[in-house]
Amino acid sequence: MNDMIDPVLLTIAGCEIGFWLLVVGGLVLRYLARAERASTWVLAAVPILDLVLLVAVAIDLSRGSEVGFAHRVAPIYLGTTVVFGPRLIRWADVRFAHRFAGGPAPVKVPKRGPERMRHEWADFARWVAAAGIAAAVLALLGFTVADPTQRDDLFGGFQTLGVITAIWLLTGPVWYAGSGRREATTATPDHASPETPTSPPAHRR
């Protein structure tokens, strides 16, 4: 077993490849083949990959496999694909539409400012939702197919979720909020004292 690649890890890799094959295939059908209905069906099949991954992890645990890195990562991957997957599809759709159907060019998020802050908080909120799904999957697997030893090892994924959440918060919203305040402080000129007028007084008639 040590000489073999973890089957759960292979399943995660296969799901990732399958995700992009379905997305690109669906968009090719939509914008190049003009097959709107077929495109919709192909893109609608994306969530099936999440079910495949969940079943694969459950089967592997039920067989008594030792919990490894892949077993703890799989619920996190599943949560992120459920929450961020539709956004990635929209991201690709905008670019396909612009390239092949004369759609508007993709709009870039500003590097600074209120819009950037809204973007960072929205992304963090999506991650929190993804972490919630991952935690639910960890609990589901731990209390259904895992034995007590597997459960203890599997629940190490909760710590990973906490670490990722803290890092995301600090390097995302908190970082950009602090950066914005620093720029505002640098850009704001020093206030002139009341005794020193900033402009010459108007001449009295």
pLDDT exceeds cutoff 50 at 40 = yes
Q: Where are the domains of the chain?
A: 7-187
pLDDT exceeds cutoff 90 at 18 = yes
Q: How far apart are CA 131 and CA 158, in angstroms?
A: 9
Q: What is the pLDDT of residue 141?
A: 97
The two structure tokens encoding residue 179: 């950066």
- Average pLDDT for the chain: 89
pLDDT exceeds cutoff 50 at 198 = no
- What pLDDT digit, counting tens, does each position of 128-142 carry? 999 999 999 999 999
**Average pLDDT value for residue range 159-175:** 96
Q: What is the pLDDT of residue 184?
A: 59
Q: What is the pLDDT of residue 179?
A: 76
Q: What is the pLDDT of residue 99?
A: 95
Helices 69-100 and 156-169: crossing angle, nearest 10°? 40
- What pLDDT digit, counting tens, does each position of 69-101 carry? 999 999 999 999 999 999 999 999 999 999 999
Q: How far apart are CA 105 and CA 102, in angstroms?
A: 9
